[in-house]
Structures are given as C-alpha cells and as structure tokens.
Homo-oligomer: A and B are copies of this chain.
Amino acid sequence: MSLPHAILTALLEKPSSGLELTRRFDRSIGYFWPSTHQQIYRELGKLEKAGHIRVLPAAQPARGQRKEYEVLPAGREELMAWVSLAEDPRPVRDPLLLRMRAAAVVGSAGLAGELRRHLALHRAQLAEYLEIEERDFPPERTSDEDRLRRLVLRGGIDLETFWTGWLTRAIDDLDGPGS
C-alpha cells in the first residue's frame, strides 16, 4: 500500500499531472519507490475514485489532454495516518545474496564478474546521492522538513555504502584465498 502514499506525498509538494509525477519520481521519491507511468495513472484513478485527490478545474479532460491533480483533505489525513502506522519492515529479498548461496552449491563460476558489476553500479548510485547531498543540503539549514528529507537521503547513502563495502570485501575474499 505504498505507491498511493508516495503519490499523495508528491502531489502535496506540488500538484501535477500524471506524466509530471512520473518524471519527478525518477529523480526523488523514485529512488526508494520506483514506479512507471502506467502504474501511476492507474493509481491516480483509484485515488480519485476514493476521494483522496481531484482533478484541478481549468483544463478540460480529454484523452491526451493533461490533467492536473491536487490532494483533498481526506487524502492528507490518509497520509498522516499512514506515517504513524505500525508497519513492519519488508522482508529482505535479494537475488544476489541468493545467487551467492547457490554458488556455494553449484560452484562460483562467473559470480565474481557479477559482483564487480554490481559494485560499479552501487558506487555510481552512491556518487549520485552524494552529489545531491552537496547540492541540496548544504550544512546548517535545518528546518524540520529539510532535516527529514536529509535523513532519507542519508538512508540512501548509508545503504549504498553498505553495498559497496560488502561487495568489496566479498570480491577480495573470493579472489584472494582462491587464486
């Protein structure tokens, strides 16, 4: 049940059309809840039917005609409730760890290459996050909203740091004693 809330959050920050939302997802909320335009349109429809958002007047709706949505009070309340909800962390589900486990059974041929490839990807993501931090969060601007947004970004940074660290050690461990 996260996508509708992600959309509500984005719409509260700024009323938008479906495609605009999709684009903003790509460079902010999408970092930890990616979504395609198809899914977003589908969800916008549901949210509208539920009375959580509505189409801004001014633009008449026709197919291929942009529709701007804004959040209604009911939507905001729904979102507030969701923030304080008790919801357990999702179970980890990681194919790379699984493949490493499989490699313990059928041999690790080809695995090291994958580890290096993933390491490069995670390093790139980490660099991207660090750039955003530098650009959008210069030291000492601490409104409540900024503190929270910065914490979220820190989460991303720390997560990628974990991956790069673990992958580096894993590659060393596989290469080292083996060859």
A147 within 8 A of B: yes
A151 within 8 A of B: yes
Contact A84 B110, beta carbon cutoff 8 Å? yes
Contact B33 A93, beta carbon cutoff 8 Å? yes
Cβ-defined partner of A101 (8 Å) among B9, B95, B144: B9
Query: A103 — nearest CB in chain B belongs to which residue?
Result: B83
Contact A122 B89, beta carbon cutoff 8 Å? yes
Which one of A6, A99, A158, A169 has the greatest number of beta carbons of chain B within 10 Å? A99
Cβ-defined partner of A162 (8 Å) among B96, B105, B109, B162: B162
Chain A's interface size range is 35 or more
Which one of A34, A142, A151 has the greatest number of beta carbons of chain B within 10 Å? A151
| A68-85 interface code vs B (CB 8 A; 1 in, 0 out) | 000000001001101111
Contact A169 B148, beta carbon cutoff 8 Å? no
Q: A34-B91, A152-B97 are in contact. Are A9 and B86 (CB under 8 A)?
A: no
Q: How distant is A101 from chain B, measured CB to nearest CB, in Å?
A: 5
Among the stretches A43-51, A59-67, A112-120, the one at the interface with B is A112-120
A87 within 8 A of B: yes
Among the stretches A16-24, A131-139, A170-178, the one at the interface with B is A170-178
Contact A100 B158, beta carbon cutoff 8 Å? no
Q: Can you give 7 contacting A-B residue pairs, CB < 8 Å?
A: A29-B101, A33-B94, A104-B144, A104-B148, A104-B149, A144-B178, A155-B166
